[in-house]
Structure 1
Amino acid sequence: MPSLASPARRPLPYRNLVLALSLALSAPLLHAEDVPDSTDTTKVKNLEGVQTTATVTGDGDSYTTKATESATRLPLSLRETPQSVSVVTEQQMKDFNLTNINAVLDTTTGVNVERVETDRTYYSARGFDITNFLVDGVGLPFANGEQEGDIDTALYQRIEVLRGANGLLSFTGNPSATINFVRKRPTADAEGSIGLSVGSWDNRRLDVDLSGPLNDAKSVRGRFIAAGQDTDSYLDRYNLRKQVLGGIVEADLSSSTLLSAGISYQKNKTHGGMWGALPLYNTDGTPTDYDRDTSTSADWSRWNVADTRAFVELTQQLGNDWSIKASLNYRRIAEDSELFYVYGTPDAQTGLGLYSYPSAYTSKERQYFADVYATGPFELFNRKHELVLGANWAEDNVHQLSGYGQGIGTPLPPLTEWTGDYPEPPFDASYGNGDFHIKRKTLYATARWNVADALTLITGTSVTHIEQYGANYGVPSNYEKTQSTPFAGLVYDFAEHYSAYASYAQLFNPQTLTDINNKVLDPVTGANVEVGVKGEWYDGRLNATFALFRARQDGLADYAGHNLATNQDYYTGIDATSKGYEFDVSGQITDHWQLSGGYTQLGITDPNGNNVRTYVPRRMFRLATSYRFDALPGFKVGGTLRWQDRIYRDQQDVALDGSEIFTTQGSYAVLGLMAGYDFGQHWSTTFNIDNVTNRKYIPSLYWSQGFYAAPRNYMLNVRYSF
Structure 2
Amino acid sequence: MCHPDSLSSRIDPLAQAVRRALGLATAGAFVVLSPASFAQEAEPAQALETVTVEAEALSIITEGTERYRVPLTSSATRLDLTPRETPQSVSTVTRAQMDDFNLDTTNDVLESTPGVTVERLETDRTYYTARGFEISNFQVDGLRVPMPYNNVHGDMDTAIYDRVEVVRGATGLMSGSGNPAATVNFVRKRPTYEPQASVSASVGSWEQRRLEADVAGPLDDAGRLRGRLVAAGMESDSYLDRLSRERGLLYGVLEADVTDSTLVTLGHTWQQNNTDGNMWGSLPLYDSAGDPTGYDVETSSAPDWSYWDVETRRSFLEVQQELGERWSLKGTLTHLDMLSDTQLFYIYGTPDASNGRISDDQLTLSRYDRHLEQWVADLHAKGDVEAFGRTHQLVVGTDWSQSRNQQLSRYPTADFDAGGQGLPPLDDWNGDYPEPDAWVAYPTTLGDATVKERSLYGAAKLDLAERWTAVAGARLSWADAVGEQYGSSQETDVDNELTPYAGLIYDVTDWTSLYASYTEIFDPQTEINRNGDFLDPVEGASYELGFKASVFDGAADASLALFRTEQDNLAQPAGTRPDGTAIYKGGDGITSEGVEVTLAGELAPGWQASVGYTYLEIEDADGEATNTYIPRHLVRATTSYRPAALDALKVGARLRWQDDIERDRDFAEGKTRQEGYALVDLMASYDFSDNLTGSLNLNNVTDEAYLTSLKWDQAFRGAPRHVMANLTWRY
- How does the TM-score come out when normalised to structure 2? 0.87
User: Structure 2: how far apart are the matches of 1:574 and 1:636?
Assistant: 51
The answer as to 2:423 corresponding to 1:412 is yes
Of 501, 505, 514, the match for 1:491: 505
Compute the displacement of 1:474 (Å): 2.2
How many equivalent pairs are there? 656
User: Structure 1: how far apart are the matches of 2:243 and 2:620?
Assistant: 40
Compute the displacement of 1:527 (Å): 1.4
Q: Deviations over 1:331-360 (max 9, x none)?
A: 111100011111221123310244321110
Given that 1:377 and 1:386 are in contact with CA atoms closer than 8 Å, whether structure 2 keeps it comes out as yes
Alignment correspondent of 2:316: 311
Q: Deviations over 1:628-667 (max 9, x none)?
A: 122323011110111001111112333xxxxx22111110
User: Structure 2: how far apart are the matches of 1:532 and 1:507?
Assistant: 20
Letter in 2 for 1:575: G
Q: The residue matched to 1:93 in structure 2 has which SS?
A: helix
Compute the displacement of 1:718 (Å): 0.4
Q: Deviations over 1:556-614 (max 9, x none)?
A: 699xxxxxxxxxxxxx9971100000101111001110000110001000122100111
What pairs with 1:446-465 in structure 2 (closer than 5 Å)? 446-465=459-478
User: Structure 2: how far apart are the matches of 1:402 and 1:642?
Assistant: 37
The answer as to 2:403 corresponding to 1:396 is yes
**Segment of structure 1 superposing worse, 463-472 or 167-176:** 167-176
Alignment correspondent of 2:70: 65
Say which structure is richer in helix: 2
Of 356, 363, 368, the match for 1:361: 368
User: Structure 1: how far apart are the matches of 2:92 and 2:85?
Assistant: 15
Of 689, 696, 701, the match for 1:692: 701
Q: The residue matched to 2:644 in structure 1 has which SS?
A: coil
Alignment correspondent of 2:617: 603
**Segment of structure 1 superposing worse, 290-299 or 170-179:** 170-179
Compute the displacement of 1:539 (Å): 6.8
User: Structure 1: how far apart are the matches of 2:479 and 2:174?
Assistant: 15
Flag structure 1 segments of 5+ consecutive residues without an equivalent.
Answer: 1-8, 19-53, 559-571, 655-659
Alignment correspondent of 1:569: none
What pairs with 1:13-28 in structure 2 (closer than 5 Å)? none
User: Structure 2: how far apart are the matches of 1:602 and 1:540?
Assistant: 29
Given that 1:144 and 1:512 are in contact with CA atoms closer than 8 Å, whether structure 2 keeps it comes out as no
Instruction: Decide whether aligned partners of structure 1 residues 522 and 298 sit closer, same or farther in structure 2, where only a CA change above 3 A counts.
Output: farther
Compute the displacement of 1:460 (Å): 0.5
Alignment correspondent of 1:84: 89
Of 261, 267, 272, the match for 1:256: 261
Instruction: Decide whether aligned partners of structure 1 residues 99 and 429 sit closer, same or farther in structure 2, where only a CA change above 3 A counts.
Output: same
User: Structure 2: how far apart are the matches of 1:146 and 1:163?
Assistant: 17
Compute the displacement of 1:389 (Å): 0.6
Compute the displacement of 1:284 (Å): 1.4
User: Structure 2: how far apart are the matches of 1:621 and 1:85?
Assistant: 15
Alignment correspondent of 1:32: none
Compute the displacement of 1:522 (Å): 7.2
Compute the displacement of 1:554 (Å): 3.2
Identity over aligned pairs, percent: 46
What pairs with 1:236-247 in structure 2 (closer than 5 Å)? 236-247=241-252
Q: Deviations over 1:530-559 (max 9, x none)?
A: 11000113675311111000001136699x
Instruction: Decide whether aligned partners of structure 1 residues 493 and 173 sit closer, same or farther in structure 2, where only a CA change above 3 A counts.
Output: farther
Alignment correspondent of 1:637: 651
Given that 1:107 and 1:597 are in contact with CA atoms closer than 8 Å, whether structure 2 keeps it comes out as no
User: Structure 2: how far apart are the matches of 1:605 and 1:353?
Assistant: 36
Instruction: Decide whether aligned partners of structure 1 residues 242 and 160 sit closer, same or farther in structure 2, where only a CA change above 3 A counts.
Output: same
Given that 2:378 and 2:400 are in contact with CA atoms closer than 8 Å, whether structure 1 keeps it comes out as yes
Aligned-CA RMSD value: 2.3
The answer as to 2:11 corresponding to 1:11 is no
Q: Deviations over 1:161-182 (max 9, x none)?
A: 1111111111125321100011
Q: The residue matched to 1:87 in structure 2 has which SS?
A: strand
Q: Deviations over 1:458-480 (max 9, x none)?
A: 11000110010001112322111
Letter in 2 for 1:481: V
Of 539, 543, 546, the match for 1:529: 543
Letter in 2 for 1:248: V
Of 666, 669, 675, the match for 2:675: 666
Given that 2:329 and 2:380 are in contact with CA atoms closer than 8 Å, whether structure 1 keeps it comes out as yes
Q: The residue matched to 1:92 in structure 2 has which SS?
A: helix
Alignment correspondent of 1:287: 292
The answer as to 2:444 corresponding to 1:431 is yes
Flag structure 2 segments of 5+ consecutive residues without an equivalent.
Answer: 12-56, 573-585
Alignment correspondent of 1:564: none
What pairs with 1:111-510 in structure 2 (closer than 5 Å)? 111-172=116-177, 174-354=179-359, 355-406=362-413, 407=416, 411-425=422-436, 426-427=438-439, 428-482=441-495, 483-510=497-524
Given that 2:492 and 2:524 are in contact with CA atoms closer than 8 Å, whether structure 1 keeps it comes out as no
User: Structure 2: how far apart are the matches of 1:636 and 1:385?
Assistant: 42
User: Structure 2: how far apart are the matches of 1:118 and 1:521?
Assistant: 35
Q: The residue matched to 1:103 in structure 2 has which SS?
A: helix
Q: The residue matched to 1:413 in structure 2 has which SS?
A: coil
User: Structure 2: how far apart are the matches of 1:521 and 1:588?
Assistant: 49
User: Structure 1: how far apart are the matches of 2:536 and 2:476?
Assistant: 19
User: Structure 1: how far apart are the matches of 2:70 and 2:724?
Assistant: 27
Compute the displacement of 1:56 (Å): 4.8
User: Structure 2: how far apart are the matches of 1:364 and 1:142?
Assistant: 13
Alignment correspondent of 1:562: none
Q: Deviations over 1:128-162 (max 9, x none)?
A: 10011210011233112211112110000000011
Q: Deviations over 1:662-710 (max 9, x none)?
A: 1111101111111110111000011111111111110201111111100
Given that 1:387 and 1:446 are in contact with CA atoms closer than 8 Å, whether structure 2 keeps it comes out as yes
Given that 1:652 and 1:661 are in contact with CA atoms closer than 8 Å, whether structure 2 keeps it comes out as no
Q: The residue matched to 1:344 in structure 2 has which SS?
A: coil
User: Structure 2: how far apart are the matches of 1:709 and 1:80?
Assistant: 39
The answer as to 2:731 corresponding to 1:705 is no
